[in-house]
Structure 1
Amino acid sequence: MKTKLTFKKPNLILLIVALFISTNIYSQETKTIKNVVLVHGAFVDGSGWQGIYNILVKKGYNVSVTQHTLMSFDDDVKAVNRIIDQQDGPCILVGHSYGGAIITTAGNNSKVAGLVYVAAHAPDDGESEADNGKTYPPAYKSLIKGEDGLDYINPEKFPEDFAGGVSKEKAKFMAVSQTPTADVAFHAIIKNPAWKTKPSWYVVAKSDRIINPDLERMYARRAKSTVIEVDGASHCVFMTHPNEVANLIVSASNAKK
């Protein structure tokens, strides 16, 4: 004996509407964010992101690379916000090293949907990366503070301390072409950190000599970030392990909103 299911017209309409709404919500929650903004750290410029840029562009992402001066934290945040404002929709904001402090502030921009920290600082309200570095001392001793208020890394030590794993020729070039950074930028006090209200992801470079890996782990734990740890990776993990870093950015872009 077959049972015939019948629906009254009002109930059928409600069912169709409910299915439409649930499907629409699911679509919105799983929609991939296609805009990515890459923020460089101290002593380097945006060109170090080229490997990750190439991977993401091939995957169909719209990738922007910031070029800020490293002369003033506030000005660097403004420069990054200028690029964020140019995006045609929500974006994933990625920061390396000192760039992490920048995205911690610039990440409050309404267009930022998520934060990806790559061996980066993620200070809390009232903290600075300089003070946090004293709590978790790094391995390197090659920082030189100029009398003009600009810091740089001893070029002879740069390949080992900053660019471990990068080819010798490339690391030497990075050493002699490094961008001096204003010491005051490292002492900027963070206010209203974006990671408290927005989802975050974190790449821990397990052999980092510039930022203590335990400080990176503390940042990630405190922000409740999704974390990957990369064995043997130096501070230049974004250059030496572009696939791992790019994959985490892709994961961030696909996360349910």
Structure 2
Amino acid sequence: MSTYVLIHGGGDVGWSWHLVAAELQRRGHEVVAPDLPGDDDSATLTDYADAVVEAVGDRTDVVVVGHSFGGFTAPLVADRLGAGLLVMVAAMIPAPGEAPGDWNRNTGCDEAVRAQAARDGGRTGHADPHVSFYHDVPRALADEALGKERAHPSPAAMREPWPLAAWPAVPTRFVLCSEDRCFPPDFFRRLAAERLGVVPDEIAAGHCVALGHPAELAELLESYR
């Protein structure tokens, strides 16, 4: 039995993982999916990592999974807990000393979004989250997710340089969503190779894969073990 530590993305809460958590628990694992500090302008990346580490407590055999903005927190947690595995799911991949607020510009993400939007009729980066984030999530479930949104991450976290001097010495996998309209698939294929030296595993899903395709995601996570 492993302990899966599931870290949500920006504006989100631990609830976003509830369907994946149920799949993993059905397989006999423990799951920790805390709400990171929200609605707190002073909260830092370190505060986010502290909240996760506290929620994990003394559990062992840890697999850390980060989604979207959770990519800035998940490696910090994996490093501190000595995790056996780190999985980035459609997640931002930070570089040492890089502030989240600089990430889009540094990585070329904004240009990639504009290029994909030109190809798909403006669906990528669309202002309506039902189009850009939740297009393959059942409408009622998407509406429930939108009703849980909070102010996260904070302005302080967006300005804070990522504190690790190097990527943690933890085996790392990257899950790419091939129908992602937030972070274009071709962009993540390139970035995963450049920053992690890995070829992503792909799921035919949009950005919010944990709500749209929870069984497939859980099965892929299990395959890594």
Q: Report the TM-score when normalising by structure 1.
A: 0.72
2:37 is the counterpart of 1:69: yes
Q: Which one is further off, 120-129 or 179-188?
A: 179-188
Q: 1:230 aligns with which of 199, 203, 209?
A: 203
Determine the C-alpha separation between the residues in 2 that align with 1:249 and 1:194: 24
Pick the structure with more strand per residue: 1
CA 176–66 in structure 1, closer or farther in 2 if over 3 Å, else same: closer
In structure 2, runs of 5+ residues without a counterpart are 114-123
Q: Is contact 1:104-1:123 (8 Å) kept?
A: no
Q: 1:112 aligns with which of 73, 83, 87?
A: 83
Determine the C-alpha separation between the residues in 2 that align with 1:127 and 1:61: 34
1:70-120 Cα distance to aligned partner (Å, 9 max, x none): 442221111012123x14322000111111110122221143111011111
Determine the C-alpha separation between the residues in 1 that align with 2:126 and 2:136: 19
**Corresponding residue pairs, total:** 205
Asked which structure has the greater CA Rg, the reply is 1
| Matched AA of 2:201 | I
1:189 match: 161
1:127 match: 98
In structure 1, runs of 5+ residues without a counterpart are 1-32, 143-156
Q: Is contact 2:32-2:55 (8 Å) kept?
A: yes
CA 193–50 in structure 1, closer or farther in 2 if over 3 Å, else same: farther
Runs of 4+ in structure 1 off by over 6 angstroms are none
CA 247–129 in structure 1, closer or farther in 2 if over 3 Å, else same: farther
Superposed CA RMSD in Å reads: 2.1
Q: Is contact 2:189-2:199 (8 Å) kept?
A: no
1:212 match: 184
Percent identity, aligned pairs only, is: 26
Q: Is contact 2:96-2:166 (8 Å) kept?
A: no
Q: 1:174: Cα distance to partner? A: 2.4
1:41 match: 9
Determine the C-alpha separation between the residues in 1 that align with 2:189 and 2:156: 25
Q: Superposed, which structure 2 residues align to 1:13-162 within 5 Å?
A: 34-70=2-38, 71=40, 72=43, 73-84=45-56, 86-134=57-105, 135-137=108-110, 138=113, 139-140=124-125, 142=127, 157-162=128-133
